[in-house]
Amino acid sequence: MTVSALAAALALAAPEPAGSVQAQPAPAASSAAPTEGVISYPTAFFADSQAANAWEMLLRLPGFALDTGDKIRGFEGGGGNALVDGQRPTSKTDPLDELLRRIPVAQIERIDLIRGGAPGIDMQGRTVIANVIRKPGGGLQGLVAVANNHIYDGRNLHGFRLELSGGKDGRNWEGSARYGFGADDGGDFGPGVTVGPDGAPIRVSQIDSSGGVGNQTLTGAYEQPILGGKLRVNGRLFWEKFKYKEDNVFVFPSPSLATTDDVNHTYETELGGRFTRDLGSRATLDLLGLRQTRDREISSVFASPDEDGRFNLQRDSSETIGRGVLSYRASEKLSLEAGAEGAFNKLDSQTRLMSDGVPVALPAANVVVEENRGEVFAKGVWRPTGEWTIESGLRYEASSISSSGDVALEKSLRFLKPRLALAWAPTETTQVRLRFERVVGQLSFDDFVADSSLNTGVVTAGNPDLNPEQAWVSEVAIEQRFWKDGVVGVTLRRSMLTDVIDRAPIFTDVAVFDSPANIGDGEKDELVLNLTAPLGRFGLTGAQLKGEATWRRSEVTDPTTGESREISKLRPLEWEATLSQDVPQWRLTWGVDVYGGWRETSYRFNEVSTFKLRTFVRPFVEWRARQDIIVRFELPNITERGLRRTRTVYDGPRGSSAVLFTDDRELDFGRMYFVRVRKTFGA
| pLDDT, tens only, 60-73 | 888 888 887 766 66
- The kind and range of the H/E element at 422 are strand 409-427
Prediction pTM value? 0.85
Q: What percent of the chain has pLDDT over 70?
A: 90
**292/31: higher pLDDT:** 292
Residue 6 sits at φ, ψ, to 5 deg, of -70, -35
Cα within 13 Å of Cα(443), Cβ side: 30
pLDDT at residue 482 in the model: 92
Report yes or no on 311 lying in a domain.
yes
pLDDT digits (tens, 9 = 90+) for 330-367: 998 899 999 999 999 999 999 898 888 888 877 778 88
pLDDT of residue 19: 32
Which of 151-165, 455-469, 537-551 shows the lowest per-residue confidence on average (mean pLDDT)?
A: 455-469
Q: Residue 377 is which amino acid?
A: F
pLDDT for 132 beyond 70? yes
- For 401, the domain range is 6-682
CATH of residue 673's domain is 2.40.170.20
More confident residue, 116 or 615: 615
Residue 582 in this model has a pLDDT that exceeds 50: yes
pLDDT at residue number 256: 94
In this prediction, residue 13 carries a pLDDT of: 37
b/e sequence 335-354, b meaning 16+ C-beta within 10 Å: bbbebebebebebbbebbbe
Q: Is residue 96 part of a domain?
A: yes
Band the pLDDT of 3: cuts 50, 70, 90. Answer: very low
Does a structural domain hold residue 594? yes
Contact 679, 145 (CB under 8 A): yes
Mean pLDDT value across residues 235-258:
94
pLDDT, one tens digit per residue, over 519-571 is 999 999 999 999 999 999 998 998 999 999 999 999 999 999 999 999 999 99
Residue 17 lies in a domain: yes
Distances 241 to 9, 188, 387, 665 between C-alpha atoms, Å: 14, 19, 52, 26
Residue 579: pLDDT above 50?
yes
Residue 616 has pLDDT above 90, yes or no: yes
pLDDT, average across residues 436-446: 85
Does residue 1 lie within any of the structural domains?
Answer: no
Q: Residue 244 has what pLDDT?
A: 93
Q: Is the pLDDT of residue 587 over 60?
A: yes
What whole-number distance in Å separates Cα of residue 57 and Cα of residue 45? 9
pLDDT of residue 23: 31
Query: What is the count of structural domains for the chain?
Result: 1
Q: Is the pLDDT of residue 454 over 80?
A: no
Q: 58, 631 in Cβ contact below 8 A? A: no
> What pLDDT shows up at residue 30?
38
pLDDT confidence of residue 456: 65
Distance, in Å, from the CA atom of 421 to the CA atom of 117, rounded to the nearest integer, reads: 9
Averaged pLDDT, 320-326: 95
Residue range 4-60, pLDDT digits in tens:
334 333 333 333 333 322 233 333 333 334 446 788 888 888 877 778 788 888 888
Report yes or no on 111 lying in a domain: yes
What would the pLDDT profile of 362-400 be if each residue is shown by its tens digit? 777 888 989 999 999 999 999 998 889 999 999 999 999
Residue (of 393, 370, 385, 457) closest to 426 by Cα position: 385
